[in-house]
């Protein structure tokens, strides 16, 4: 079941959005009137409908939608759909990797279309095994089957993938436990995706991407057994 939230300071708009979204997804969305209220719950949602121009109280600074989104992006890759009457913020929306940007007054057919696409995307993310990592100050979700191999790099781990390399702080032992099935620790410095193996000898493994990684003498028999098991299952 998807987890959806709506954050808008207009009670009538919250109710309208909830009705349409519930009809479209079968999910009763959680409702919030402010960014502070949303962030205080610390709930990991799949989809967030977020008003950019949240009401400001005189004499007190309140988070607007864009500030709220930036704080969310510090720890989450949930799909954010901005809702606003002001098109001026559309470029800022790209900075927080918004899924979509809906202008008020909201066209119900457009809302239904965007909701359907967001729900499909969120379900896809749930069904594909992936790693959520923090690199270069933002969170990135890496599908496990796109990882060629992981390389130990001091206090960091570098994931070599079909979409480039990603370095982040992680212990190789922890990553090994997270990936587990389908991966083999060929050397203290390398963790290999068995589906990406092109060939091997007693000292190294060649990957389909063309890279070669070390295969330690102590790990050779275990690797051969794991690779044969992978090929025959």
Angle at 167 between CA 44 and CA 80, to 5 degrees: 30
* Residues 65 and 164 reside in one and the same domain: no
Domain boundary among 73, 93, 127: 127
pLDDT band at residue 114 under the 50/70/90 scheme = very high
* Residues 141 and 90 reside in one and the same domain: no
Q: How far apart are CA 216 and CA 57, in angstroms?
A: 64
pLDDT (0 to 100) of residue 159: 96
CATH number for position 114: 3.40.50.2300
pLDDT band at residue 57 under the 50/70/90 scheme = low
Q: Are 225 and 194 in contact (CB under 8 A)?
A: no
Q: Return the SS3 of 97.
A: coil
Q: Which domain holds residue 85?
A: 4-127
Question: What's the average model confidence in pLDDT over 80-84?
Answer: 92
Pick from 27-31, 46-50, 88-92, 137-141: least confident: 88-92
* Residues 136 and 119 reside in one and the same domain: no
Average pLDDT of the chain is: 90
* Residues 216 and 114 reside in one and the same domain: no
The predicted-structure confidence for 147-182, as pLDDT tens digits, reads as follows 999 999 888 999 999 889 999 999 999 999 999 789
* Residues 83 and 150 reside in one and the same domain: no
Question: What's the average model confidence in pLDDT over 180-186?
Answer: 91
Angle at 215 between CA 209 and CA 221, to 5 degrees: 120
* Residues 87 and 114 reside in one and the same domain: yes
Domain boundary among 82, 98, 127: 127
- Strands ordered across the beta sheet of 183-187: 164-169, 156-161, 147-153, 190-193, 183-187
Q: What is the pTM of this model?
A: 0.64
* Residues 168 and 193 reside in one and the same domain: yes
Q: Smallest Cα–Cα separation from 205: which of 229, 224, 230?
A: 224
The predicted-structure confidence for 224-233, as pLDDT tens digits, reads as follows 999 998 887 7
Q: Which residue has the higher pLDDT, 222 or 139?
A: 222
* Residues 201 and 118 reside in one and the same domain: no
Question: What's the average model confidence in pLDDT over 73-91?
Answer: 83
CB atoms within 10 A of CB 112: 14
- Number of domains composing the chain: 2
Domain boundary among 90, 107, 127: 127
CATH number for position 198: 2.40.50.1020
* Residues 137 and 85 reside in one and the same domain: no
* Residues 109 and 209 reside in one and the same domain: no
Alpha helices in the chain (DSSP H): 11-25, 35-41, 65-73, 90-95, 108-127, 172-179, 220-231
For residue 186, give both structure tokens.
Answer: 């060929």
Strands 190-193 and 147-153, sheet pairing: antiparallel
pLDDT band at residue 15 under the 50/70/90 scheme = very high
pLDDT (0 to 100) of residue 89: 67
* Residues 27 and 90 reside in one and the same domain: yes
Q: Is 209 left (phi over 0), alpha (psi -120 to 50) or beta?
A: alpha
* Residues 182 and 113 reside in one and the same domain: no
- Strands ordered across the beta sheet of 100-103: 30-32, 4-7, 47-51, 79-84, 100-103
Q: Are 195 and 184 in contact (CB under 8 A)?
A: no
Query: Is the confidence at residue 39, as pLDDT, over 80?
Result: yes
């Amino acid at each position: 079941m998807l987890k959806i939230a709506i954050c808008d300071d207009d009670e009538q708009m919250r109710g309208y959005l909830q009705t349409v979204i519930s009809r479209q997804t079968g999910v009763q969305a959680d409702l919030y009137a402010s960014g502070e209220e949303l962030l205080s719950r610390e709930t990991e949602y799949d989809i967030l409908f977020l008003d950019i121009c949240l009401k400001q109280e005189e004499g007190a600074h309140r988070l607007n939608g864009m500030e709220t989104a930036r704080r969310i992006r510090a720890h989450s890759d949930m799909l954010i759909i901005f809702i606003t009457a002001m098109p001026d913020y559309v470029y800022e929306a790209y900075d927080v990797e918004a899924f979509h940007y809906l202008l008020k007054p909201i066209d119900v057919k457009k809302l239904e279309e965007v909701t359907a696409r967001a729900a499909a995307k969120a379900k896809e993310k749930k069904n594909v095994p992936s790693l959520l990592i923090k690199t270069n100050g933002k969170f990135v979700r890496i599908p496990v089957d796109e990882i060629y191999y992981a390389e130990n790099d001091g206090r960091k781990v570098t994931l070599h993938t079909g979409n480039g390399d990603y370095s982040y702080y992680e212990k190789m032992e922890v990553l090994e436990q997270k990936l587990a099935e389908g991966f083999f620790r060929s050397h203290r410095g390398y963790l290999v995706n068995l589906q990406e193996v092109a060939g091997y000898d007693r000292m190294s493994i060649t990957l389909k991407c063309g890279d070669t990684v070390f295969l330690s003498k102590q790990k050779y028999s275990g690797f051969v057994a794991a690779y044969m098991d992978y090929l025959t299952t």
